[in-house]
Amino acid sequence: MSKLKNPCIKVCGFRHEICVGCGRSRDEIRAWKHLDKAGRRTALALADLRLLELAATGRRKY
């Protein structure tokens, strides 16, 4: 199984349980190493949407 790269950029700061660095929830971060490829893709897609929302509201400056 090929692994998807961990999206952590080492800029952790949480807003409403969502990391402003990578966009993942605390639960997704904890579960990352146990997720299969489909689960990781889902987590990454959700994280991308969250990062867009944070950027649009001015709560992400990275």
The per-residue pLDDT for 2 is 55
The per-residue pLDDT for 61 is 65
The per-residue pLDDT for 1 is 47
pTM: 0.84
The per-residue pLDDT for 59 is 78
Per-residue pLDDT of the chain (62 residues; tens, 9 = 90+): 457 889 999 998 998 899 999 999 999 999 999 999 999 999 999 999 999 998 998 877 66
Domain boundaries defined on the chain? 14-56
Angle at 20 between CA 3 and CA 18, to 5 degrees: 80
The per-residue pLDDT for 43 is 97
> Helix, strand, coil proportions of the chain in percent (round to 5)?
45, 10, 45
